[in-house]
Amino acid sequence: MIDAIETCRTPVLGGAVEWCDHYQFTHIRYRSCRNRHCPKCQGSARERWLEERRAELLPTEYFHVVFTLPAPLRSLAFYNKECLYGILFHSAAQTLLRAAAKRLGVELGFFGVLHSWGQNLHFHPHLHCVVPGGGLTPDHERWATAPRRFLLPVRALSRLFRRLMLEALEKAHAAGALQFFGELEPLREPGAFARWLAPLRSKVWVVYAKPPFGGPSRVLEYLGRYTHRVAISNQRLLALQDGQVSFSWTDYRDKLRKVATVPADEFIRLFLQHTLPTGFQRIRYYGFLANCHRADKLSLCRNLLATPYSDLLPRAADYPGFSAHTRRCPQCRIGTMVQLQVLFPCYGPVPLLVDTS
C-alpha cells in the first residue's frame, strides 16, 4: 500500500502527454495508483460515487447520526479490525432499524461510512450514518415523515447500541473470533473478558445526532466531504524537516486549529493504523437502500413522495468539469485535454518532473 502511494502520479506508473485545445497548454499527466488509502486518488472516485448516489436521494430532510466506539474497546478493535468493524456496522444498523420500527413504525433506508481516525490521526473508530427523515410504513402504502427534530431520541439509540454491541462481542469471544495481544492477552479467559466488559454496561455510549441537513442538494454537499476521505489529506501536511513531519489538525474541544510535529516513522505508523482489511467495505447500505432491493423500493418511495424520477437523475451541470471520458484543462479550466502521447511505466530512477493535478 505504501509503495502504491509513493509511486502515485509519478513516471513509475506511466502516463500521457496532454494538450489543451483552448489554452494551448501541454503537460504530463501520470497515472494514479487507485489505492483507496491514497489521498490523491479519492477525488475522482468521490465524484463518480456522488453521481451514482444523486439518483437515490429523496425529496425529504436528511439526518446525520454518528456511532462512536468507546475508548476501552479501541485497543481490541485495533487487533481485530475486520471483526470489530463488522460488529460496529451491524450494531449501528440494527439500532437505527429497530428504533425506527418501534418508535416511528417505519422502515428506514440509509448508509453508513466507517472512519477510524480523529483529526490528530489517533485511532478513533466511528460510523457516520446518513438517514432520510422518514420511511416506508409496514404495508408499503405510505411514506411516513419523522416528527422529531433529531429523527430518534439519542438516549434510546445509545442504550440499544450499547446492548447490541456488547452482546455481539460476547458471541464473538465465545466463537473464538477475537485475538488478544500484549496487555489484552489475559482477556482470552472468558471470565476475565466478562469482567473487562462489565464497566461498559453502565457507561454512556456516544451516539451523536445532528439537526437535519435540509433538502437533497445539501446532502450531496455534505457527502462529498465524508465518503471518500482518508486519514489525512495532502493539504494538511505542512512540512518535512530534519526527519520530522508537521501537520495541521483541529482540536474540537476548543475549536482551534493546531500543528502537530512527530518523527517521520511515527507519522507513517499513525497513518498505517487506519488501513482497512483487504476487501472490507467501508460504505454499506441498509433498509430500503440495501443492494438486494434498492431499485424497487426507491421507485416505490419516489412514487409515494410524488417525485418525478427525471428530477433526481444526475445532470452534467451538477458536476462541472467532471466526465468519465473528458478532462478539463488544469490551467485554464475551460479547454479539453487532448492526449498526444502515451508514456510507459518507468522502472529506473524517477525523474524530478512529477505532476499531481
The pLDDT of residue 245 = 94
Confidence bin at 314 (pLDDT 50/70/90) = very low
Better pLDDT: 224 or 145? 145
Better pLDDT: 303 or 314? 303
The pLDDT of residue 150 = 73
Better pLDDT: 165 or 334? 165
Share above pLDDT 90 across residues of the chain, in percent, rounded to a whole number: 44
pLDDT(136) > 50: yes
The pLDDT of residue 1 = 65
User: Hey, how many other C-beta atoms are within 10 angstroms of the C-beta on 229?
Assistant: 16
Least confident of 259-268, 279-288, 308-317: 308-317
Task: Summarize the confidence of residues 316-343 as an average pLDDT.
Answer: 64
Task: Summarize the confidence of residues 105-127 as an average pLDDT.
Answer: 92
pLDDT(351) > 60: no
pLDDT(125) > 90: yes
pLDDT digits (tens, 9 = 90+) for 208-249: 887 777 666 677 677 666 676 777 888 889 999 999 999 999
pLDDT digits (tens, 9 = 90+) for 157-210: 999 999 999 999 999 999 999 999 999 999 999 999 999 999 999 999 999 887
The pLDDT of residue 214 = 67
pLDDT(26) > 90: no
Residue with cell 472468558: 190
The pLDDT of residue 284 = 94
pTM value is: 0.77
The pLDDT of residue 315 = 44
Domains for the chain: give ranges and CATH numbers.
2-37+325-343 (no CATH), 56-230+276-312 (3.40.1310), 232-273 (no CATH)
Better pLDDT: 186 or 316? 186
pLDDT digits (tens, 9 = 90+) for 53-87: 777 888 888 888 999 999 999 999 999 999 999 99
Confidence bin at 324 (pLDDT 50/70/90) = very low
Task: Summarize the confidence of residues 275-292 as an average pLDDT.
Answer: 91
pLDDT(36) > 70: no
pLDDT(311) > 50: no
